Amino acid sequence: MKKITTNLDNFQYFYPYTVNIVGAQSGEQINYMACAWHSALSFDPPLFGVLISKKRLTHQIISQAREFTVNFIGFDQVKLSAQMGRISGHDKDKIKECQVELAPAKIIRSPILAQAYVCLENRLIDVRPYGDHDLFVGEVLAVHEDEGCFDLNGALDAAKIQPLLYLGSDLYITIAPESLKHVLPD
Ligand SMILES: Cc1cc2nc3c(=O)[nH]c(=O)nc-3n(C[C@H](O)[C@H](O)[C@H](O)COP(=O)(O)O)c2cc1C
């Protein structure tokens, strides 16, 4: 296909992104937001990073709480992503007004989301600015997953979980399980 050189703002168009719902509890205040910029950072110790703009209430809450949970949701939870990603806790109590099902975490105080298929409990160990976003690095203290959604080798069972994928501009899609291939180098 012919390449066109486009403007620099398009650097982030390496879609699809997987979407998680990240947030924390600080005092009595609980807030979560949709997050597409995230990554596992290290196996040992297990570290996970999320990039959060200073404008987000979630930035403030995680900074205060010094912990956060990361909650990966399926395509059936697409509405939750739109709510948590297009409404700010600065304007509305999203936990009260949206269909967020909180569940107690095992180790930290901040809740996990019951409707997520994988939840990570993290202790905040570092925050670093990168331009207009800050990288929040968490040490993963506990992992919760829906029973049976990974096979014995740790691969996601595509027949059971349809991960939520983001294509930009409020467009979402999911995987096509019939495209599954097990591929090894020759
Ligand atoms: C699919 C999706 C992914 C998003 N990913 C990020 C992200 O990685 N980092 C970020 O700072 N904002 C991201 N946002 C924007 C925030 O989720 C949004 O501004 C949210 O309303 C912030 O809520 P808060 O102010 O309650 O924290 C994303 C929005 C959507 C819809």
**Residue 139 CA, ligand 1 centroid: distance in Å:** 22
Residue whose CA is closest, atom 4 of ligand 1? 35
Is residue 1, in this structure, part of any structural domain at all? Answer: no
Q: Is 70 in the pocket of ligand 1 (CB under 6 A)?
A: no
Whether residue 175 is predicted with pLDDT greater than 90 in this model: the reply is yes
The answer to whether residue 184 sits within a structural domain is no
For residue 31, tell me if it sits in a domain. Answer: yes
Q: Into how many domains does the chain fold? A: 1
> Separation of 107 CA from ligand 1 center, angstroms?
26
- Per the CB < 8 A criterion, the answer to whether 142 and 106 are in contact is yes
Q: Is residue 9 part of a domain?
A: no
Tell me if 7 is assigned to some domain. Answer: no
Q: What is the pLDDT of residue 50?
A: 99
Structural domain span for residue 52: 16-179
CA-CA-CA-CA torsion sign (64, 117, 106, 123)? negative
Helix (H) or strand (E) holding 1: none
pLDDT tens-digit map of 147-164: 999 998 999 999 999 999
Ligand 1: centre distance to CA 186 (Å): 42
Cα(140)–Cα(179) distance, integer angstroms: 32
Region label for 9, one of left (φ > 0), alpha (ψ between -120 and 50) or beta (otherwise): alpha
CATH of the domain at 104: 2.30.110.10
Residue 72 CB less than 6 A away from ligand 1? no
Q: 158 in helix, strand or coil?
A: coil
Would 4 be classed as within a structural domain? no
Instruction: Kindly state whether residue 100 falls inside one of the protein's structural domains.
Output: yes
Token reading at 93: 């109590």
Distance, CA of 18 to CA of 70 (rounded, Å): 12
- Per-residue pLDDT tens digits for 84-104: 999 999 999 999 999 899 999
Q: Does 112 map to a domain?
A: yes
